[in-house]
Amino acid sequence: MTRILAIETSCDETAAGVVEDGRRLLSNVVASQIDLHRRFGGVFPEVASRQHVLAIHNVVRQALDEAGVARLDQLDGLAVTHGPGLAGSLLVGVNTAKGMAFTSGLPLLPVNHLEGHVYSNWIVLDETDPAVAHLEEFPVVVLIVSGGHTELLLMTGHCRYQRLGGTLDDAAGEAFDKVARLLGLGYPGGPAIQQAAERGDPSRYPLPRPLMQAGEHRYDFSFSGLKTAVLNLTKKLAQEGIQVQEDPQVAADIAASFQAAVVEVLVAKTVDAAQAFQARRVCICGGVSANAQLRQMAQERCQALGLPLHIPPLFLCTDNAAMIAAAAFHRWQVMGEQALADLSLDVHANLPLT
């Protein structure tokens, strides 16, 4: 039995959690900063790092209390996100974990934030769930889709990845934020667009599906052109006397069309990769995987092909520390001592998943 406390501060969520054996959730505490950043229409890095400093102690203490951990020597290791992310935010988490490792003597496990998202798919909330039977089946096609990342991976074993493709410009979540701003729907963009799209008609303003053709970019994504198409549409409508931000129905129709385009591209390329590489199952993770239409379409396409699909519950889609603990456990199992770091551990704002 291996218990790991993890800390995650890569962006604007201060999070800590304890996971046992890489799958059993003992605690998962997240202090959100959404209300602080809403006034800026996006994450303000300096505000984020300062808020992490204010919140980190209480978040870690709560995570330990909820897990029933009275002393650090009841843990087996400390994990922390060391990249990618905002450097100032990452430093708060890494320095906190280093201080705890120094005082306790516990092993320190640095984790890539993207690998954390991958392993959110290995956390088991219900051992009777049929999906548990597929956890150790490889290869797996994994779509990581979030505010800062859109990556399509072939996972051939624990911590073994082949990058199939990724975004050439904007990540999907970034595009949601920018389009929501264009339409006057608020921040964060993902939930705002989903809510507006529920009352919209996706066929009223058809939008392009970027890079859907086969070829060298078969598994790549590009959402910048789609965002520009929405911008040009709003300008065209303005010339016709329609101010999108003042017309809720027009904004809802554009939101529905935009959401449909993004979801279709994401699902089509993921399912295509799963078939091409004979995947045993498909995993989708990251903040955008909370989108209801994405979850529904992915389920329908995978079910039609007899492909098991796993998408984490909503609270594990967005940034959290439980996923970091799960990733740390599996990397420790695979790499042994090579998975550990000493107190010289630094942060890496741009850290590829290897």
Q: Flag whether 285 is in a domain.
A: yes
Q: Flag whether 128 is in a domain.
A: no
Can you give the residue range of the structural domain that contains 161? 135-311
User: Could you tell me the CATH number of the domain that includes residue 202?
Assistant: 3.30.420.40
Q: Are residues 74 and 188 in the same domain?
A: no
Q: Are residues 293 and 325 in the same domain?
A: no
What would the pLDDT profile of 91-125 be if each residue is shown by its tens digit?
A: 999 999 999 999 999 999 999 999 999 999 999 98
Q: Residue 45 — very low, low, confident or very high, per pLDDT cuts 50/70/90? A: confident
What would the pLDDT profile of 148-164 be if each residue is shown by its tens digit?
A: 899 999 999 999 999 99
Contact 168, 220 (CB under 8 A): yes
pLDDT at 126 over 90: no
pLDDT recorded at residue 44: 76
Q: Between residues 135 and 233, which one has the greater pLDDT? A: 233
What would the pLDDT profile of 237-256 be if each residue is shown by its tens digit?
A: 999 999 999 999 999 999 99
What rounded mean pLDDT belongs to the chain? 95
Sign of the dihedral defined by the CA atoms of residues 63, 66, 72, 77, in that order? negative
Q: Residue 147 — very low, low, confident or very high, per pLDDT cuts 50/70/90? A: confident
What's the gap between Cα 78 and its chain centre? 21
Gyration radius of the chain over CA positions = 20
Q: Are residues 298 and 226 in the same domain?
A: yes
DSSP string, 172-190: HHHHHHHHHHHHT--SSHH
The stretch 336-340 carries a mean pLDDT of: 97
pLDDT at 130 over 90: no
Q: Are residues 51 and 145 in the same domain?
A: no
Q: Between residues 91 and 35, which one has the greater pLDDT? A: 91
The stretch 267-274 carries a mean pLDDT of: 98
Q: Of 134, 140, 147, 137, which is closest to residue 162 (Cα–Cα)?
A: 140
Residue with token string 């904004």 = 251
Number of domains in the chain: 2
Tokens of 29: 């505490």
Tokens of 240: 């016709």
* 215 contact partners, CB below 8 Å, separation of at least 6: none
